[in-house]
Structure 1
Amino acid sequence: MNYGEFSGKTGARKALFSASAIAISLALVAPAQAEEADSSEAAQNAATQSASNSGQFQDIIVTARRRAERAQDTPLSVSAISGEEVAKLNITRLEGLEQMAPSLRVSTASGSANSPAIFIRGIGTITTALYAEPAVGVYIDGIYSPRGAVNTFDLPDVANIEVLRGPQGTLFGRNTTGGAIVLTTKAPTDDPGAQMRFSYGTDNEIVASAVLQSGKIGGSPFALKVSGQIHSRDGWVETPGYDKSKWGGALDAYSFGAALVGDLAPNLTFDGRVRYNHVASYSGWEPIGGSANGIAYFGLGESLGGPPFKIGGGADDLTYRDPRADGGRAVAKSWVASGTLTWDISEALTLKSITGGIWLDQAFNANIGGGYTLGAVVNPYVPGQLEYVSPHTTTANPGRGRQFTQELQALGDLGDFNYVVGLYYFRERTNEGYTTIIDFPLAPTYAIRLDTDKGFEILSKSYAAYGQLGWKPSFADGNLEITAGLRYTKDDKTLDSWNVSSSTSTTTTTQTSKDSWDNLGWSTSISYKVAPDVLLYGRASSAYRSGGYNGPTVGAPPFGPEKATTYEVGFKSDLADRHIRLNGSFFQTNYDDLQVNAYNSIILSNAITNAAKARYRGFELEAALRYAGFELDGNVGYVDPKYKDYVYLVSGVPTDVSSVAKFAYVSKWTYRIGAQYGFDAGDAGTFTVRADYSVKSSPPGYSVPAATPNYLQIATLGRDENLSARLMWRGTIGGASVNAQVFGENLTDKRALTFASDFSSIVSGVYSRPRRYGVSFGIDF
């Protein structure tokens, strides 16, 4: 019996090979060897190579305080990850950054494999619905990107990534109560060149990318860079009736980008960038528990002639998908464009204008109940009649976002003082629709069917003004710095929503709302260099996350802003002639009106509420050693959260659940250790062997047990472990730099839940990817 539409390989796979051939051809016709570029980026690359050759730690330039400075001189917790490290560990997406920074977790978001949910120091939101505001801000080449579906992209030409841990209340002030991730791609170079990468691995996973540099165009002051990447793989969660290219975990993605940089006039530069990304993916939801009625009802389906509905047993990697959900296909298409004007008037004044736009179109479909089968329903009751049933199927979830941002900055140095001031404007219109089918068992042999068609449109406008002043007194020889900053933010939002529900009757409801919130945030820090390469610092700041609406839930009141105040002390040090690097911090963050996303069994959906007060306390440590060809590095993060007050509606009654409430998706411990050894084989090139082991302790799966009747069946999501190893080679062929790698990920084949949800009758979830291997090859001209 065929339980789903059987489909062969998609046309995207054929296009992938064609595009790979084109990319390789273009790379081969580029000049064989480019001269060293006379730019700040080239100078940094040269310094990096020199430091690497000597076994010393190199400087990474960051913009965590909106000005270029050494990461080791920045008095806040920031993990600076170079493009070289990203390539070395074969990191292709944001999810791969987890192991690179302490207290960072990137999970599969609710409903879609297309949208990563980011947590820093335990703060984030698991939903990436277009009505939700994130707690971790993502900035791509200076543009704030709040939507997870936009941030699901590959990283073919990264210059560096900054993970800013903890509230960023002044300079990165919009929705950064957890922190921020600042991603910078490589700029066009003055000289022509090309870069090509290709990898192949388990599940027919292919990643192919090319970056072409034009150099100065026709003697003009402008240089152009174009890049493209294709990423495709089969799934690993078997879905009978479907080809492997549509199994759970399958992916077909492609992206391309361009950057144009040049001088419009003396001291006036233009930097324009554009990127398009197209991602199609399939989630592999599996049933893992349920209520007595749910287990009995859906378990009966196979005996009635329907597909099997296996419940529990861990990562079985098997699911029967509801064909009404278009095979569970989730598609996101996005454009990100930015234009930056920089006018270096003098050392005392630089003016910047940063303009950005984001266009997002998505269509998500999912059988998030974990399967479907045959069963009897009672609305209406027809003796002997069966129909296909599912705990929760989303047959359609279209969404659209249109965003515009404008930021003006002025910064400079005035004697012992440095400053940054700015104005910021954000406008976004989002709309999203949901068509769902839920079969809720009333007894072991029959259920009631609920069909819902709902949606919303939200218009958000945000205005902000900020400034930060730093003082490095001359009497301290530049070793002492004191900073203070303020940021005022005003948010205006309007909502239009609708809901059409059908069970025994049809009900239509609508809602229109308009709300405003504002906030005055602040930050201050003091740092002192007790030695040339040893920095001590203390920092205090506030942060604010905008209020909003539970978009498709008609009648729900708005939730208010989330506010955070953090206190942190830390140190940064390069020791033993920069062969040892040791950075650490201790922090406490107090949250008011913490926004928590929890499943509401009354509306059968997730809802965001304000959880009054919470306290997060912890520490982080990053350490590394380099000597000759040997390197040892690692990090550890610990966070201990506690609710001080949490009032939640339990069976319609306001109840203080602070003593029993959990912090969903918060791993108390995160740590990683890695080691590598490299040696020079002369004309044969250099060889490096590396191994990494990372762990995230098992986090709770839900916030309020009373709201999730089957909570205890998956009280925690499981310990997330990854042991990886790789053998790398780098050499020169015909004047071109060539590298190759053989790698393995999750070598111990540990599986943990990345996301789970309780639909009252059935608990279902998505497991992490199993063991995998691959090879990669790269060439730089």
Structure 2
Amino acid sequence: MKAVSKSSEYKRGLLPLGAEASLFAIGVAMMAPVSAAAAEDQSDAPVARASIEDIIVTARRREESGQGAPVSVTAIGGQQLKDLASVRLSDIAQLAPSIKITTASGSANAPVIFIRGIGTITTAMYAEPAVGLYVDGVYMPRPTGNAFDLPDVERLEVLRGPQGTLFGRNTTGGAVLITTQAPSEEAGGRVELGYGSNSEMLVNAVLQTGEIGNTGFKAKFAGQLHKRNGWVNSPGFNRSDWGGNEKASNLSFALRGDIGKLTIDNRFRYSEIDSFTSWQVIGGTPAALTAYRNAAAANPSGPPFLVNTKPLDLSYRDPRLTGNATISGWGDVLTLDLLISDALNLKSITSYNKLDQMLVGHLGGSYVIGTVLNPAMPGNPKEPISVHASPYNPGHQTQFSQELQLTGDLGQLNYLAGLFYYNEDVKENVTTILASAVGSNFIRVNRSVTYSQNTKSWAGFGQLGFKPAFLDDRLELTAGLRYTKDDKSETSNTIQTTTTTSNTTQSGKDSWYNLGYSFSASFKFTPEVMLYGRVASSYRAGGFNNIALAAQPYSPEKAVSYEAGLKTDMFDRRVRLNATLYKTDYDNLQVNQFISNGTTSTNFIANAAKAAYKGFEVEGTAVLGQHFQVDGNVSYIDPEYKSYFFVVNGVLTDIKSTAHFSYVPEWTFHIGGQVKTSETDYGALTFRVDYAQKSSTDLASVDQFSPVVKNIRSGRDINLSARVIWTKIPVSSKLNLTAQAFVDNLTDQRFITFATDFTSLGTAVFNRPRNFGVRLIGQF
């Protein structure tokens, strides 16, 4: 892939050709059912009409129709995830507008979620995410802790825009809610087997006990094994350890029972994953490129110096990096739900989670053999040279949370009130080996940062809804408040060695307070057409840059969003069209950036003063008779810095005109269509094709920190996929068998998913090339 200059990007305000196609397809999908309906109405025989599934959501902490909730939410059912062969959280990025999921720097499998352009790319445990991820009602803040597969998902909800009232801190971009399958009333199970490119193997099993005797309790067991070889050739390593490899396992257990009006639900989850990310040098300063090339030429017994803006899928791993990155974690959530009456329901959510990780990273890409002025072994100046290698990065996290909710209906009023407590401890050691070019030689920099951090958060929240009876419940007014107090303390120790050794210890402590609010008004013109408006605020907690050159604090990020939306179901729920127009103002926007002091580089979070994001989103689905379906979405994001103060040559300067929004695609869209045959004695076939595209993005925010990648862009994220699904294969009356074959990234489009600028060299990670697979699923 060639480096994409900013001048070659789409002009602002113009719709890409693919987005035009998406909108056209959605429009055709809206019109087509009219003809189909007319044809069906002319038939004397009764016709079973297909319709669009209405998924129940919990976007407002109570179960309701997704189409009836005055919130920008996309609900994805578990069956749809299975039909699309979705295994990881990143697989859902094309199914909802304004969402981008990439990977963090420390692990190929740590998902970083951007919604409406807001997100944070880092695996550092001190950082606060901008999008809240909730699993079975529990907040999961660490990207490495969310590197699990999705073996038994009931539904997934993407809430776009600030969600501070009901979901609290760190939802300035939005929230993603994952609900796993509950134990069922009937006994049964499901087994899934898969095989694909890179020797990818998947074994997934879910067992439902049904009611155990007459106890009122039922249980569910689920497990998954998932492994694949890498696709980035790492000479000297087995394919199972090449870049992009994965070895993952997941286990879960759920127990649910009803005792009178009390429901007890306990869910336990354990996950473990082993992987390695291969980086590639994509550019550098003339002096650095000359030094690395000369070192490689002078030591031909070592590896060559690889630099290219196109993916080479070849990386020489630094021999000082042994093993892969490993992540393991477990968690338990106990939910007690007591239905006292329609006017009072009490819910308690208690959770404990533990995460252990040993990250191994080679952000510098391939290494060379060079002359080091301060060699690790005296008398042996020749050693591996890489701009950044992390041989040792252990981290540990524990978190406890408790939430209490009171909900109920009082005539024309409905209410929710709650209390929330959160306590998290993290400890991490980040050890890096870096190289700085000095003429034709190099200086070795050994750096180790050990820090610990404690975060406590308390919140009280409430929401009140009103549906006046004289309007037949068509109008709903809702208002909510949330008060949050955050306490954070940290201690860190940095040891850095070049020709001398420095040892720095520091500590910090701070508290932040926030009063968040939301207000919405919705009106149903008909039961199928609703218009709503919403104003909502949220805040992301402040913190300390624990692994930076000094633990400078950064302030909380605050957001206020203004949103108008339309939700429609037409033609007997065979056409659905939802649209949203929004503007979000950010104060003290937190921006993630690598910085360098000339010797060492590290991740750093700074506040970028004020910014505004505005845009729109459209989602559409149409069921065309019994056999055809078309669905799609398109979104547009237009961010602007109102002010961004940065010290330039010792002077505080507003750089808003030259600063960028990294990893924010201007346009995202998806169009998909499927054809399903009639059922026969041999089952039924479904043919589906999906095309998704995201605009090319900037890779860094501040040019002064990014001299190498400031003129390189990610390239367009294009994914054309196709699949054929064979359902109801006749094997046994007690076994429902489904087979699926699929191909992903059919056009083999390659683009940059993440990049780092070390001011001397720039490195990047590329997406997975074309891949294919088959699945066999049996339900009994």
Give yes or no for TM over 0.5: yes
Give runs of aligned pairs for residues 159-308 of structure 1, distance below 5 A. 159-263=154-258, 265-303=259-297, 304=299, 305-308=301-304
Deviation track 1:65-88 (CA, whole Å, cap 9, x = no partner) reads 000000000001000000011001
Q: Is contact 1:690–1:726 with CA below 8 Å preserved after alignment? A: yes
For the residues of structure 1 that align with 2:450 and 2:555, how far apart are their CA atoms?
21
For the residues of structure 2 that align with 1:383 and 1:351, how far apart are their CA atoms?
71
Match of 1:530 among 525, 539, 559: 525
Match of 2:443 among 440, 448, 459: 448
Secondary structure, aligned partner of 1:149:
helix
Q: Which residue pairs with 1:425 in the alignment?
A: 421
Kindly state the Cα deviation for residue 114 of structure 1 after the two structures are TM-superposed. Answer: 2.8
Kindly state the Cα deviation for residue 377 of structure 1 after the two structures are TM-superposed. Answer: 2.0
Secondary structure, aligned partner of 2:122:
coil
For the residues of structure 2 that align with 1:529 and 1:681, how far apart are their CA atoms?
38
Q: Which residue pairs with 2:763 in the alignment?
A: 764
Kindly state the Cα deviation for residue 168 of structure 1 after the two structures are TM-superposed. Answer: 0.3
Q: Is contact 1:498–1:554 with CA below 8 Å preserved after alignment? A: no
Task: Supply the AA of the counterpart residue of 1:434.
Answer: V
Task: Supply the AA of the counterpart residue of 1:581.
Answer: R
Q: Which residue pairs with 1:312 in the alignment?
A: 308
For the residues of structure 2 that align with 1:75 and 1:681, how far apart are their CA atoms?
38
Q: Is contact 1:250–1:281 with CA below 8 Å preserved after alignment? A: yes
Kindly state the Cα deviation for residue 760 of structure 1 after the two structures are TM-superposed. Answer: 1.9
For the residues of structure 2 that align with 1:136 and 1:465, how far apart are their CA atoms?
20
For the residues of structure 1 that align with 2:535 and 2:91, how far apart are their CA atoms?
30
Q: 1:91 to 1:398 in 2, by over 3 A?
A: same
Match of 2:393 among 373, 397, 403: 397
Q: Which residue pairs with 2:78 in the alignment?
A: 83
Q: Which residue pairs with 1:637 in the alignment?
A: 635
Give runs of aligned pairs for residues 408-423 of structure 1, distance below 5 A. 408-423=404-419
Q: Is contact 1:601–1:708 with CA below 8 Å preserved after alignment? A: no
Kindly state the Cα deviation for residue 448 of structure 1 after the two structures are TM-superposed. Answer: 1.3
For the residues of structure 2 that align with 1:779 and 1:653, how far apart are their CA atoms?
66
For the residues of structure 2 that align with 1:383 and 1:484, how far apart are their CA atoms?
72
Q: How many residues align?
A: 726
Kindly state the Cα deviation for residue 292 of structure 1 after the two structures are TM-superposed. Answer: 1.2
Give runs of aligned pairs for residues 366-405 of structure 1, distance below 5 A. 366-379=361-374, 385-405=381-401
In structure 1, the gaps of 5 or more residues are 1-51
Q: Which residue pairs with 2:9 in the alignment?
A: none
Q: Which residue pairs with 1:667 in the alignment?
A: 665
For the residues of structure 1 that align with 2:763 and 2:57, how far apart are their CA atoms?
41
Q: 1:383 to 1:353 in 2, by over 3 A?
A: closer
Deviation track 1:278-315 (CA, whole Å, cap 9, x = no partner) reads 00011011111111122112222332132112111410
Match status 1:550 vs 2:582: no
Q: Is contact 1:337–1:358 with CA below 8 Å preserved after alignment? A: yes
Q: 1:313 to 1:600 in 2, by over 3 A?
A: closer
Deviation track 1:692-726 (CA, whole Å, cap 9, x = no partner) reads 00001001000001111212352x11100000000
Deviation track 1:403-428 (CA, whole Å, cap 9, x = no partner) reads 00000000000000000000000000
For the residues of structure 1 that align with 2:671 and 2:438, how far apart are their CA atoms?
50
For the residues of structure 2 that align with 1:115 and 1:262, how far apart are their CA atoms?
34
For the residues of structure 2 that align with 1:53 and 1:711, how far apart are their CA atoms?
57
Q: Is contact 2:547–2:603 with CA below 8 Å preserved after alignment? A: no
Give runs of aligned pairs for residues 508-587 of structure 1, distance below 5 A. 508-553=503-548, 555-587=550-582
Kindly state the Cα deviation for residue 55 of structure 1 after the two structures are TM-superposed. Answer: 1.7
For the residues of structure 1 that align with 2:330 and 2:380, how far apart are their CA atoms?
52
Task: Supply the AA of the counterpart residue of 1:419.
Answer: Y
Kindly state the Cα deviation for residue 128 of structure 1 after the two structures are TM-superposed. Answer: 2.4
- Give me the TM-score of the superposition, normalised by structure 2: 0.92
For the residues of structure 2 that align with 1:221 and 1:301, how far apart are their CA atoms?
71
For the residues of structure 2 that align with 1:360 and 1:673, how far apart are their CA atoms?
38
**In angstroms, what is the RMSD of aligned CA positions?**
1.4
Deviation track 1:648-687 (CA, whole Å, cap 9, x = no partner) reads 2345543211110000110111100000000124111111
For the residues of structure 2 that align with 1:286 and 1:293, how far apart are their CA atoms?
18
Q: Which residue pairs with 1:617 in the alignment?
A: 614
Q: Which residue pairs with 2:4 in the alignment?
A: none
For the residues of structure 1 that align with 2:694 and 2:274, how far apart are their CA atoms?
28
Q: Which residue pairs with 1:710 in the alignment?
A: 708
Q: 1:290 to 1:306 in 2, by over 3 A?
A: same
For the residues of structure 2 that align with 1:115 and 1:287, how far apart are their CA atoms?
21
Q: Is contact 2:283–2:709 with CA below 8 Å preserved after alignment? A: no
Match status 1:720 vs 2:714: no
Match status 1:363 vs 2:361: no
Identity of matched residues, % = 48
Q: Is contact 2:412–2:468 with CA below 8 Å preserved after alignment? A: yes
Q: 1:95 to 1:53 in 2, by over 3 A?
A: farther
For the residues of structure 2 that align with 1:85 and 1:464, how far apart are their CA atoms?
35
Task: Supply the AA of the counterpart residue of 2:723.
Answer: R
